[in-house]
Amino acid sequence: MKKNTAIPKTVNEYLAATREPARSTLKKVRAAISSAAPAEATEVISYGMPMFKYKGMLMGYAAYRKHCSLFLATSSLLEKFKNELSRYQTSKGTIRFPIDKPLPASLVKKIVKARVAQKDQKQGR
């Protein structure tokens, strides 16, 4: 995301302010999350970045100068997908990946479904 700009109010504003190739990368990540998230999940800007909400924070994503990140809001999923995430840098519920190479959509969808299951279980659904 560009520095010294106003905090975006919508996800589309955030993406419009993000330079290529990170913009295209994040659009692919967004599409993968959206396709796996429940229909009632909503997109918001929180902490200045795009997030999906479902029974609270589901996950977020952002672009930085040298990488993009997927924020899982929990570190337990990093352990669950440890083998599939071995080539990415991870820490405290965050996955970092190159600005020009999105995470595989199939992996993102598996992570989203696992996160939704956590949220459902916590809420007793």
64-102 per-position pLDDT tens digit: 999 999 999 888 899 999 999 999 999 988 999 999 999
CATH number at residue 40: 3.90.1150.200
CB 75 within 8 A of CB 104: no
Whether 117 is covered by a domain: the verdict is no
DSSP 17: T
The per-residue pLDDT for 122 is: 80
- pTM beyond 0.75: the answer is yes
Q: How many domains does the chain have?
A: 1
Burial label for 26, CB within 10 Å (0-12, 13-18, 19+), is buried
Whether 92 is covered by a domain: the verdict is yes
Residue 5 has pLDDT above 70, yes or no: no
* DSSP-assigned letters across all residues of 74-120: -SHHHHHTTTTTTTSEEETTEEEE-TTSPPPHHHHHHHHHHHHHHHH
Whether 120 is covered by a domain: the verdict is no
Whether 69 is covered by a domain: the verdict is yes
The per-residue pLDDT for 7 is: 83
Task: Show the domain range for 30.
Answer: 11-109
Whether 21 is covered by a domain: the verdict is yes
Whether 6 is covered by a domain: the verdict is no
Tokens of 50: 């795009």
Whether 114 is covered by a domain: the verdict is no
Q: Can you tell me the distance from the alpha carbon of 30 to that of 71, in angstroms, rounded to the nearest whole number?
A: 12
Whether 17 is covered by a domain: the verdict is yes
CB 93 within 8 A of CB 72: yes
